[in-house]
Amino acid sequence: MLNKKVEKAINDHIVKEADASNAYLAMASWCENFGLRESTEFYYEQSIEERGHMLKLVRYVNENDGRAHIPAVKKPKEDFESIAEVVDLSLEQEIAVTKSIHEIVALCDQEKDYGTTNFIQWFVQEQQEEESLFRSLKDMIRMIGIEGVSLIMLDNEIAKLRQATAVEPN
């Protein structure tokens, strides 16, 4: 049985995963309009991934005698200066999500909810991977810039990242 405080914290976190999914959807759409083909696919995939995270949490709550709440759709930011801004905001979003996951870990500890401690570890690892992914993109942009041919190089790098992450079991 799920601890009530933990249940509330997971429900609050469900909102963050839903918002992240929607934010990445808006970023994918921006990339598509801008013409960055690989970045477009990458961000559509990210959006699906975040929805998957949300579902994982919804089902965990419901399967453990709790009640999951489905959040309203928040309007995401749709206009961006450049792909650099998109990547910056992605990393910021991931850092905020990580913080929220870590708060759940701390709460589980405090409430001695060891089942959820175990369950939430998957998210702890996932967040490490996500942060590192967006940090590497940010580094790339810092090194090559986003002018002219650099944009094509960056899009190619994103293609490689897509291949690298596609083989990982989810």
* CB count in 10 Å sphere of residue 9: 23
Structure tokens at 93: 């979003």
Cα gap 71→112, rounded to integer Å:
27
Structure tokens at 160: 């490689």
Give the residue with the Cβ less far from Fe ion, 129 or 139.
Answer: 129
Helices (H), the chain: 4-34, 37-63, 83-111, 114-144, 149-166
Cα gap 94→131, rounded to integer Å:
6
CB of 149 to Fe ion, least distance (A): 29
Residue nearest Fe ion (C-beta atom): 53
Structure tokens at 7: 């249940």
CB of 57 to Fe ion, least distance (A): 9
Give the residue with the Cβ less far from Fe ion, 30 or 43.
Answer: 43
How crowded is the C-beta side of 141, counted as CA atoms within 13 Å? 16
Give the residue with the Cβ less far from Fe ion, 12 or 145.
Answer: 12
CB of 6 to Fe ion, least distance (A): 18
For binding to Fe ion (CB under 5 A), which residues are involved?
50, 53, 130
Q: How far is residue 163 CA from its own chain's centroid? A: 18
Give the residue with the Cβ less far from Fe ion, 7 or 130.
Answer: 130
Give the residue with the Cβ less far from Fe ion, 42 or 151.
Answer: 42
CB of 148 to Fe ion, least distance (A): 30
CB of 157 to Fe ion, least distance (A): 19
